[in-house]
Structure 1
Amino acid sequence: MWEVACVLARDAAKVSGASALPPLLFFTDPQRTPRPWDTAARLPAGAAVVFRHFGQPDARGTALRLREITAGRGVRLLIGLDADLADAVGADGVHLPERALDQARELSKAQPQWLITGAAHAGSALDAPGVHARVLSPVFPAGGPSGATPPLGLDRFSALAESAACPVYALGGVDAKNARSLIGSGACGIAGVSAIQAAFSA
């Protein structure tokens, strides 16, 4: 998956200049990725971890552990929604759910060095001031919270990515078997949860 993600990133950079974006985003989930540091320790330099704690009590400790691992490997760390935690652990940015995209402009002013990504789903507008990239899902039939949402499919994803005001990652049902089909789709990279964990397992 890493090789395909890098091809997508290079293709997107030719069009949008998005060369500073990580090709691969590993999204954590307390249920599906209970030991995110194991996967983080195997990610290639240049990838990124998006730590989503969903209010879990050990969030700070896990974030600090991820920061230590990612900093030593050249992997960026984004914190889901929680800008205070991101600042406290020295993260490289934040990932915002759609409901919180209105925070992006102020965050980009307050933390101009941060990478800010934002979620996007079928039918949602892809313009969001202050956001460097959107994560659009689900591209393919997916598990997790996206499982009940009809997949976009490659044609619809490509059309949305082409019309977007910023680079767009592909999320949802992307795995080692279908990742290559994203080449030429306009995606700037791949995002995932379980599939990335599986791809970088021991």
Structure 2
Amino acid sequence: MFFTDPQRTPDIEAAMLRLPRGSAVVYRAFGAADAELRARRLLVIARARGLKLLIGADAALALKIGAHGVHLPERLASQAARLKRQGFLVTTAAHSLRAARRAFAFGADAVVVSATFPSASASAGPPMGPVRLAILVRAAGGPVYGLGGISDKTARRLLPTGVVGIAAVEALRT
């Protein structure tokens, strides 16, 4: 999964061209005035490349452009079932085992757990590392992606954890 960030990933389109088929892109507009136009452009690329486009925390925008899904912050996980009924793929952020379990109870398709390793993100909490992540994955009750400090070096350390995939911001920028 590739998470966009206006400051840290300014060239989203170029990063999308490098993603393998089946990857997901979480477009986080953060209130940008051109969010709809940009999201529509990203959706064209996603469809052409076999990627899934999820809109971060904006179900109205996702519905308006016909995105594949929505990624919710942990505090909005309770919206998962309603969004799934609208046909969306729904992922949520989770910063603890409790949050991951709650997200699955609300109907999330997958959770993105952070922070896995030390991260440059201003919102990243303390890193849990691969051992604690593996414990969380086994007890979460559904598919888990790891996020935070993921790079070509750290990703290998996640192989034995049971995560279904990795999520990254800066590791995928151009």
Q: Give the match for residue 163 of structure 1.
A: 139
Query: Which runs of structure 1 show a deviation greater than 6 angstroms over 4 or more consecutive aligned residues?
Result: none
> Could you list the per-position Cα deviations for residues 144-185 of structure 1 after superposition, in whole angstroms to 9, with x for gaps in the alignment?
1244x2110111111011100111000000100111111110
Pair 1:136-2:101 in alignment: no
Higher relative contact order (CA 8 A, sep 6+): 1
Is 2:94 the counterpart of 1:120?
Answer: yes
User: Structure 1: how far apart are the matches of 2:51 and 2:58?
Assistant: 19
Provide the rounded CA distance (Å) in 1 between the counterparts of 2:22 and 2:97: 30
Assess if the C-alpha contact under 8 Å between 2:84 and 2:90 holds in 1. Answer: yes
1:71-110 to structure 2, matched below 5 A, reads: 71-110=47-86
Taking structure 2 as the reference length, the TM-score comes to 0.94
Taking structure 1 as the reference length, the TM-score comes to 0.81
1:139 maps to amino acid: T
Please point out which of 130, 136, 154 is paired with 1:178: 154
Residue aligned with 2:138, SS: helix
Task: Identify the match of residue 54 of structure 1 among 30, 37, 47.
Answer: 30
How far apart, CA to CA, are the structure 2 residues paired with 1:167 and 1:156? 16
Distance 2:151 2:18 in 1: 17
The amino acid across from 1:145 in the alignment is A
For residues 34-70 of structure 1, the C-alpha deviation after alignment (integer angstroms, 9 at most, x for no partner) is 1211111221211111000111111011101101111
Letter of the 2:89 partner, please give it: L
Paired position in structure 2 for 1:14? none
* One-letter identity of the residue aligned with 1:158: A
Alignment gaps of 5+ in structure 2: none
Residue in 1 that maps onto 2:122: 145
Query: Which sections of structure 1, spanning at least 5 residues, go unmatched?
Result: 1-24
Pairwise CA RMSD: 1.2
Measure, in 2, the Cα distance between the counterparts of 1:76 and 1:150.
Answer: 29
Counting only pairs closer than 5 Å after superposition, residues 14-25 of structure 1 correspond to structure 2 as 25=1
Q: Write the distance in 1 (CA, Å) between the matches of 2:159 and 2:43.
A: 31
Distance in 2 between residues matched to 1:153 and 1:41, nearest whole Å? 30
Deviates more, 1:121-130 or 1:102-111: 121-130
Q: Percent identity?
A: 49
Cα separation, 2, equivalents of 1:123 and 1:110: 27
The aligned amino acid for 2:138 is: E
Q: Residue type of the partner of 2:57?
A: L
Q: Secondary structure at the match of 1:184?
A: helix
Distance 1:110 1:72 in 2: 23
The size of the alignment, in residue pairs, is 171
